[in-house]
Amino acid sequence: MDNRTGLPVVGMVGGGQLARMTHQAAIALGQSLRVLSEKADDSAALVAADVRIGTHTDLAALREFAKGCDAVTFDHEHVPTAHIAALAAEGVKIYPGAEAIVFAQDKQRMRERLAELGAPIPRWRPVTDTSDISDFVAEHGLSWPVVAKAVRGGYDGRGVWMVGGAEAAADLVGTGTPLIVEERVPLRRELAALVARSPFGQVAAYPVVETVQQDGICVEVLAPAPGLSEALAVQAQQLAIDLANALGVVGLLAVELFETEAGIFVNELAMRPHNSGHWTIEGARTSQFEQHLRAVLDYPMGETSLAAPAVVMANVLGGQPGGISIDERLHHLFAEDPGARVHLYGKQVRPGRKIGHVTVCGDDMTTVRARAVRAARWLQEGS
Amino acid sequence: MDNRTGLPVVGMVGGGQLARMTHQAAIALGQSLRVLSEKADDSAALVAADVRIGTHTDLAALREFAKGCDAVTFDHEHVPTAHIAALAAEGVKIYPGAEAIVFAQDKQRMRERLAELGAPIPRWRPVTDTSDISDFVAEHGLSWPVVAKAVRGGYDGRGVWMVGGAEAAADLVGTGTPLIVEERVPLRRELAALVARSPFGQVAAYPVVETVQQDGICVEVLAPAPGLSEALAVQAQQLAIDLANALGVVGLLAVELFETEAGIFVNELAMRPHNSGHWTIEGARTSQFEQHLRAVLDYPMGETSLAAPAVVMANVLGGQPGGISIDERLHHLFAEDPGARVHLYGKQVRPGRKIGHVTVCGDDMTTVRARAVRAARWLQEGS
């Protein structure tokens, strides 16, 4: 509690863009986000007033950081569960808890737990021996390629491999990276269902969105998912709500889904503000960042409804060096589309790195999408 | 220019809630607002990363503050014009300039200039002698009361007096405060027209709003102004655009207006983000805070259209001490109305002090207004 304002202090471990945007939301709630940042020039550290430098694997640093926080939460999923459990045992309100976040850290345990819960998932198995992937293909009568995933640490397409045959499979297993293998689902598209859950147990669900991926990186998010049947939308929301409850998530839970002819399947889980929810800043009545704060503080959840009939978020990836400056690009974009909402993360440009996003709200999905994609391209390529 | 991000640095003189909300907007543009704050616990200083402590009347502090800023602007209108002119002469891009902001600082010069420009204003005169107010009443055949205003320094109802007769007039003049006197306009209601102007000369106008005052303090803003004729709306916008051009304003210009049977009259001018524009954070495609940054940086202006058919902002004033805490009030409000958007300024509660505001967006003005007023009352009174 901040004695001066009488309002709570939330600490976020990690100084990336999620913490940066959470700070913006915290300001509106009368708060100032406390950030544990690795470096003083991390995205959130550049804009927050209460920044502590430290690393998320250092229990002493976490313990010091948590002092005076009403709740501690995360910008990423890399904090060791042992540290989270230790702090919780010492009375720190730290969310999501170790028993929940492990399912966002460890894909094998996530798949096992989802299977237990009867959630729809692709066929899969853990990989321990060189022949496991080939055996899996044979056993289920699958055709190559299949998908191998690192059990831990993958994101934005990293840690995921399309394995084309037995030899490639054996090579991959030979690297020693702990893996799971799963069937390649014949997907129509990808969806995401975002919910927030409070310690009290209230769950709020956002409209289901379509996520468009390129080389394993999310490039666009369409809200609401165009042409999604009401039945499937409700099923996806209910699935996310059930998972949040079953896993005991506190804060946001993003459920990445495959939509196929046979229905929906869970792909990944994330327990923090998520790229598939950036559209909510302008596009929903309550942004995911405020919602996450409300959840970890056990405030009642905010309204999740759309603020416009069609909302599209497009990620801005760092382009090749050279060309006109980012500031000039911004000039051009603002001249070109005065209604595009820009979010830049204060990051140095590196090819392929997410350096910002653009959101467009409007009435017609086709127009809105074209504008968002064009705006992101302006910032990315300067033309 | 921030060498790391390649994006500009804007400095804002003054650490109040306007700087606080401007910082939120700066973050989205990849920036971090530099704030010159009197105290380390001022509203903006609590949440910004780049805070310098200093006072706006200290030229040396202003000069030091401006170093490395791409543009310098203001959270309030109290910086001496001589200081602004001095910095501008030294090459600082400081907006609005001394030649413009003087009209927001000095009501006599403002009235004189508006009269020259032929803008509609109430009948008025400067007050120098004890009998000036009575003479003014007699000369124009007015009935008491008339309105006396301090030439400098008034706001939120301070520095404004309803003068009931010759004796009270003489007493007021006797205090030595430089004054103007003006007729009491038979107003139907108050309106505000908000525009932003860039150095390049682009001007963007927001929809005209109704402002509801109580004891001289703005308590509600209704966007768009209900039932305002298209003709009057266009006239008010055009007036604000013309004034921004004629006065050479860079940044925001808020024109407070009286609506009467005989048309509109200019009441006050403000050259900064303004309370009558707080609704734009959620209610317009571009918030006034981002617009102000875009203007002082000479970026193209953002879209000003409404994001919902009806938007109401209600100010939260500090209530009497005691009762349930602000944090508990927030719980109750969020439970009561999950769609209300809350903005708290990190200020200690003092009776009558603006400590935050609430915005509600929706389809029906009557419903939206009732919700906003109720939400503000929850935060103010805890019931």
* pLDDT score for A20: 98
* pLDDT score for A10: 98
Domains and CATH numbers, chain B: 10-94 (3.40.50.20), 123-182 (3.30.1490.20), 187-381 (3.30.470.20)
Q: For chain A, what percent of residues have pLDDT higher than 90?
A: 90
Instruction: Evaluate the CA torsion angle B111, B115, B120, B126 in order and state its sign.
Output: positive
Cross-strand pairs, B252: B196
Q: What value does the mean pLDDT take over residues A33-46?
A: 97
Please check the confidence at residue A383 and state whether its pLDDT lies above 80.
no
In eight-state DSSP terms, residue A286 is S
B1 touching chain A per CB within 8 A: yes
* pLDDT score for B181: 96
B34 touching chain A per CB within 8 A: no
A339 touching chain B per CB within 8 A: yes
- Please indicate whether, in this complex, the C-beta atoms of A294 and B343 are within 8 angstroms of each other: no
* pLDDT score for B49: 98
Cross-strand pairs, B100: none
A52, A34 contact by CB (below 8 A): yes
- Please indicate whether, in this complex, the C-beta atoms of A356 and B32 are within 8 angstroms of each other: no
Tell me how crowded residue A155 is: count the other CB atoms within 10 A of its CB.
16
- Please indicate whether, in this complex, the C-beta atoms of B325 and A6 are within 8 angstroms of each other: yes
In 3D space, the residue among A87, A109, A111 whose CA is nearest the CA of residue A98 turns out to be A87
* pLDDT score for B305: 98
Please check the confidence at residue A321 and state whether its pLDDT lies above 80.
no
* pLDDT score for B5: 87
* pLDDT score for A252: 98
* pLDDT score for A153: 81
- Please indicate whether, in this complex, the C-beta atoms of B344 and A303 are within 8 angstroms of each other: no
Q: Which two tokens stand for residue A12?
A: 């976020």
Angle ∠(B112,B146,B268) on CA atoms, nearest 5:
40
- Please indicate whether, in this complex, the C-beta atoms of B341 and A285 are within 8 angstroms of each other: yes
CA distance A134 to chain B (A): 48
| Distance (Å) of CA A315 to CA A231, A341, A360, A371, B212 | 29, 12, 12, 13, 41
Confidence of residue A315 (pLDDT cuts 50, 70, 90): very high
Per residue in A19-29, pLDDT tens? Answer: 999 999 999 99
Give the 3-state secondary structure of A249-280: CCEEEEEEEEEECCEEEEEEEECCCCHHHCCH
* pLDDT score for A2: 87
- Please indicate whether, in this complex, the C-beta atoms of B20 and A30 are within 8 angstroms of each other: no
B324 touching chain A per CB within 8 A: no
Burial of A38 (0-12, 13-18, 19+ CB in 10 A): middle
Q: Which two tokens stand for residue B361?
A: 């967006």
- Please indicate whether, in this complex, the C-beta atoms of A286 and B4 are within 8 angstroms of each other: no
| Distance (Å) of CA A152 to CA A17, A78, A177 | 21, 9, 9
B251, B184 contact by CB (below 8 A): no
Q: How far is CA B4 from the centre of its chain?
A: 34
Residues of A in contact with B4 (CB under 8 A): 41, 346, 348
CA distance A335 to chain B (A): 5
B257, B266 contact by CB (below 8 A): yes
Q: Which residues of chain B have a pLDDT value below 50? A: none
In eight-state DSSP terms, residue A347 is P
Whether omega for the bond prior to residue B145 falls within 30 degrees of 0, making it cis, is yes
A122, A101 contact by CB (below 8 A): no
SS3 A199: coil
B193, B240 contact by CB (below 8 A): yes
* pLDDT score for A5: 87
SS3 A200: coil
Give the 3-state secondary structure of chain B: CECCCCECCEEEECCCHHHHHHHHHHHHECCCCEEEECCCCCCCCCCCCEEEECCCCCHHHHHHHHCCCCEEEECCCCCCHHHHHHHHHCCCCECCCHHHHHHHHEHHHHHHHHHHHCCCCCCEEEECCCCHHHHHHHHCCCCCCEEEEECECCCCCCCEEEECCHHHHHHHHHCCCCEEEECCCCEEEEEEEEEEECCCCCEEECCCEEEEEECCEEEEEEECCCCCCHHHHHHHHHHHHHHHHHHCCCEEEEEEEEEECCEEEEEEEECCCCHHHCCHHHHECCCHHHHHHHHHCCCCCCCCCECCCEEEEEEEECCCCCCCCHHHHHHHHHHHCCCCEEEECCCCCCCCCEEEEEEEEECCHHHHHHHHHHHHHHHHHCC
A286 touching chain B per CB within 8 A: yes
Question: What is the bridge-based pairing of β-strands B71-74 and B50-53?
Answer: unpaired
| Distance (Å) of CA A218 to CA A161, B228, B326, B379 | 17, 45, 40, 40
- Please indicate whether, in this complex, the C-beta atoms of A338 and B301 are within 8 angstroms of each other: yes
CA distance A56 to chain B (A): 22
Per residue in A245-276, pLDDT tens? Answer: 999 999 999 999 999 999 999 999 999 999 99
In eight-state DSSP terms, residue A208 is P
* pLDDT score for B320: 75
**Residues with Cβ < 8 Å from A32, sequence gap 6 or more?**
A2, A9, A23, A26, A48, A49, A50, B46, B47, B346
Q: End-to-end CA distance of chain B, in Å? A: 48
More confident residue, A159 or A62: A62
Confidence of residue A1 (pLDDT cuts 50, 70, 90): confident
| CA pair distance A329, A345, nearest whole angstrom | 15
Please check the confidence at residue A65 and state whether its pLDDT lies above 90.
yes
Per residue in A80-104, pLDDT tens? Answer: 999 999 999 999 999 999 999 999 9
- Please indicate whether, in this complex, the C-beta atoms of A307 and B302 are within 8 angstroms of each other: no
Q: Which of residues 354-383 of A touch B (CB under 8 A)?
A: 356, 361
In 3D space, the residue among A155, A106, A161, A212 whose CA is nearest the CA of residue A353 turns out to be A155
- Please indicate whether, in this complex, the C-beta atoms of B294 and A334 are within 8 angstroms of each other: yes
Q: What is the CA radius of gyration of chain B?
A: 21
* pLDDT score for B83: 98
Whether omega for the bond prior to residue B273 falls within 30 degrees of 0, making it cis, is no
CA distance A294 to chain B (A): 9
Alpha helices by DSSP H, listed for chain A, are 17-28, 59-66, 81-89, 98-105, 107-117, 132-139, 166-174, 230-247, 280-283, 288-296, 326-336, 365-381
Residues of B in contact with A24 (CB under 8 A): 24, 27-28
A343 touching chain B per CB within 8 A: yes
Residues of B in contact with A338 (CB under 8 A): 204, 285-286, 300-303
| CA pair distance B329, B358, nearest whole angstrom | 13
| Distance (Å) of CA A308 to CA A224, A284, A364 | 10, 8, 10
- A182: enclosing H helix or E strand: strand A179-182
* pLDDT score for A233: 98
Angle ∠(A347,A348,A354) on CA atoms, nearest 5:
55
Burial of A287 (0-12, 13-18, 19+ CB in 10 A): buried
Please check the confidence at residue A156 and state whether its pLDDT lies above 80.
no
B286 touching chain A per CB within 8 A: yes
Q: Chain B residue with minimal CA distance to A7? A: B327
CA distance B176 to chain A (A): 38
Could you identify the residue written with the tokens 């069937």? A183
B90 touching chain A per CB within 8 A: no
B10, B297 contact by CB (below 8 A): yes
| CA pair distance B238, B330, nearest whole angstrom | 40
Give the nearest partner residue to A32 out of B47, B294, B300, using CB atoms.
B47
Q: Which of residues 49-88 of A touch B (CB under 8 A)?
A: 49, 51
B28 touching chain A per CB within 8 A: yes
| CA pair distance B341, B352, nearest whole angstrom | 21
* pLDDT score for A350: 86
A255, A239 contact by CB (below 8 A): yes
B40, B64 contact by CB (below 8 A): no
Residues of B in contact with A46 (CB under 8 A): 5, 32, 49
